[in-house]
Amino acid sequence: MIGKLFVVATPIGNMKDITLRAIDTLKDVDIIFAERPRHSLRLLSHYGISKSLYLYNDRNWQKQIEIALKLVKEGKNIALISDAGTPAIQDPGYRMVQYFRQKNIDVIPIPGSCASICALQASGLPTDKFVFLGFLPRSPGKKKKLLKTYGFLDATLIIYESPLRVKKTLNYINEILGEREVVIARELTKIYEEFLFGTPPTLISKVEKIKGECVILVKKSD
């Protein structure tokens, strides 16, 4: 009997932000593929879960997908988890899902935390339509092109950004999109969770020493 792939969302910060179904799934599967096994061990230990962990990331996904497929064909049930949040959102998890779908393997989503949605729901910006851009390209030209392409749609923009590049990204947003309303969410669900509100120029001085990965939300074009 062929096994299944379970795509399991894990907490983005607060350990309690995991569903009962996710806990049960992680206990029931045979093997877990994780973006950072050492990091994931903390969560698994917290809930008394002991499983074989396989590394799965941007560097080794091609090799690991084949290993995962072999295990599933042997009847093993597999869980895929990311560093934090929902797998396949801005990580190589989608490649495994895509490959398994092509092989007619059942893929079961186990929903839960997602930084982009968490930030959006507390931002106060319109939620009827939104565009998720993930991490912007590092190239200034490609970054500007992406902002021009999506920045004038009737939708809130959601961007992931490193604390080291938040200031530059705000400058690009101001240059391409103007002084729109922007919300920066950082350390979501953690002790130092913070939301910053303003326009790019007013926020630049507030992010000089910002820590933790950020979600930047930009109000849709008027």
Instruction: Give me the helices (H) in 105-196, please.
Output: 115-121, 140-150, 166-177
Q: In terms of domains, do 122 and 77 share one?
A: no
β-strands 182-186, 52-55 pairing: unpaired
What's the predicted TM-score (pTM) here? 0.93
pLDDT tens track for 2-41? 999 999 999 999 999 999 999 999 999 999 999 999 999 9
* Contact residues for 101 (Cβ-Cβ < 8 A; gap 6+): 107
Domain count, the chain: 2
Whether 105 and 119 map to the same domain: the answer is no
At which of 110, 130, 165 does a domain end? 110
Residues 194, 178 share a domain: yes
**Same structural domain, 106 and 120:** no
139 and 101, same domain (yes or no): no
Low-confidence ranges of the chain (pLDDT < 70): none
pLDDT in tens, 43-56: 999 999 999 999 99
- Edge to edge, the sheet with strand 78-81 lists 52-55, 31-34, 78-81, 5-8, 107-110
Q: Which domain holds residue 77?
A: 5-110
pLDDT on residue 91: 87
> Is-contact 85 54, C-beta < 8 A?
no
Distance CA 217, CA 48 (A): 37
- 100 and 146 inside one domain: no
What's the pLDDT at 121?
A: 97
- Are 34 and 82 members of one domain? yes
| Domain final residue, candidates 78, 110, 142 | 110
Read off the CATH number of the domain in which 131 is found. 3.30.950.10
For residues 49 and 104, membership in a common domain is answered with yes
How high is the pLDDT of residue 222? Answer: 76
